[in-house]
Chains A and B, each alone.
Chain A
Amino acid sequence: MKIPVFLILMMCALQAHSHVADTSGRMARVKGGKYLPLYSSDSQRVMVKPFNIDVHAVTNADYLKFVKAHPEWRKSRTRTIFADTGYLRHWTSDTTFDSRLANSPVVNVSWFAAKKYCECMGKRLPKVAEWELVALANERLADASRDKAFNQWVLNWVSRPSHKVLPSVGSTFRNYYGVYDMHGLVWEWTFDFNSALTTGESRGNSSLDNTFFCGGGSFDSKDINNYAAFMRFAMRSSVKANYCVPNIGFRCVK
């Protein structure tokens, strides 16, 4: 009787230990706030409740642990309905990749894969509103949307071609919340990315989305300085959930 109990306690201890030792799962607290979606009026501000967000994007090393525990997400096993043929294309096999990439954000992962990863970590993908709220912060301010230099810096990044070899997570700046790389490294999946409607497929009476391609549309926005936000909106509206893209990674929230 004593032995199994001891074992149980020891497994608890090991589990607790490994949890603490694993810094890749570190999260930062975001107190919440109000987020104004693009093409919305003030009355349409979204209330964001407090949440925790991963300090870093999920890395190749993190993702390797996941596919080892979940063989159905190895690249030889995934189904195209959930991940297109680009899935983990930068990996050399089901469980190997260039060791220089271990701490770089995992990319070439679909929304389905990212969602499943977060789910299995006891987390979830951030909503657009949550992600964008954190992305408003620069090093000093929770909301740096009026900071011209910051906006220009972000815009410079989105205007540059992607890196040949993705830098490690943490290689850009640590923002107000203690979160790294919201800009400057990769685009990131959000739970409700598919709420970005830009084509005539939305209902006729929805004026906001159909104006997206109209030049005047940008003047309707409350946030005309934030061109990078428009680019993220366009990115979200142009991808499908099984797309695996070399510059889209993800992080989780809780």
Chain B
Amino acid sequence: MKTTIIASAILYATLLASCSQAPVSTPAAKEEVKACCSKDNVPEAGEVSDESLFNITSKWTTQQGTPFVTTDLSGKVTVAAMIFTSCQSACPRIMADLKNIRAALSDADRARTHFLLITMDPANDTPERLKAFTKEHQLDSMWTLVCADDDATAEMANVLGVRIKKLSGGGFDHSNTVYVLGKDGVIAHRQDGLGQDPAGTLQAIHTQLQ
């Protein structure tokens, strides 16, 4: 009997600990469900801008294997793009575009501009793979590469408005956009398409750094 009771208690505790329970109508359980499903620390109204990427609370991992959340970008000006490292055609070009942007910045701006690469291919782009990619592309410490699970990846893509179609033969069709994020996490500028004149992007970075 005692074992059953303990087992029931453990079972119940487990149910509460998972986020997979539907809201229930009992007042006692309601708070528990709410606590369990609100595991994301949603920012209070007014804390961050309505349009800020800092509203995203999903958990990411960097190429160093360290945790990353969007608010880690707070106070920084960041150039961001979604990529996947096994990409044969468009990604090398988006990498070239990003490097061109970085090279074209003034020394003062370059020293303060961060670069964020978000993988759209979490199945293959592990932190180790991302680290190898930084070596292949000789990316220094101003570059952060991050990966997360499918849900977080889809959410990020949808916040950025990136369209991603997984191809049956491997790889993805996707939109190619470079984003400039202000210190408040709001998208200040977007450069759509490959091989674009980066003048607008450079200007946006400069403005955001002021």
Contact = CB atoms under 8 A, between A and B. Distances in A.
B29 interface: yes
A15 B26 contact: yes
Interface string B157-169: 1110111111110
A8 B8 contact: yes
Interface in A85-123: 111-112, 115, 119-122
Q: How large is the interface on A (under 10, 10 to 19, 20 to 34, 35 or more residues)?
A: 35 or more
Interface in B76-106: 89-90
B38 A18 contact: no
A111 B22 contact: no
Interface in A50-67: 65-66
Nearest to A210: B173
A111 B163 CA distance: 14
Interface stretch (A144-152, A160-168, A193-201, A218-226): A193-201
B55 A201 contact: no
A15 B15 contact: yes
B163 A194 contact: yes
Contacts of B166: 195
B174 A202 contact: yes
A70 B34 contact: yes
Contacts, number: 129
Does more than half of chain B's interface fall in helix, strand or loop, or is it mixed? mixed
B126 to A, nearest CB: 22
A9 B21 CA distance: 17
A72 B38 contact: yes
B138 to A, nearest CB: 25
A44 interface: yes
Contacts of A40: 168
B209 interface: no
Interface in A117-174: 119-122, 124
Nearest to B173: A202
A204 B168 CA distance: 17
A12 B106 CA distance: 64
Interface stretch (B46-54, B140-148, B199-207): B46-54
Nearest to A237: B163
Nearest to A80: B50
Given A70-B34, A80-B50, A81-B53, A11 B26 contact: yes
Given A79-B55, A111-B158, A192-B154, A206 B24 contact: no
The 5 closest A-B pairs by CB, nearest first: A122-B20, A241-B158, A195-B165, A201-B175, A202-B173
Given A11-B28, A15-B24, A115-B154, 8 more contacts: A12-B12, A15-B26, A18-B25, A18-B26, A119-B19, A197-B175, A201-B163, A205-B89
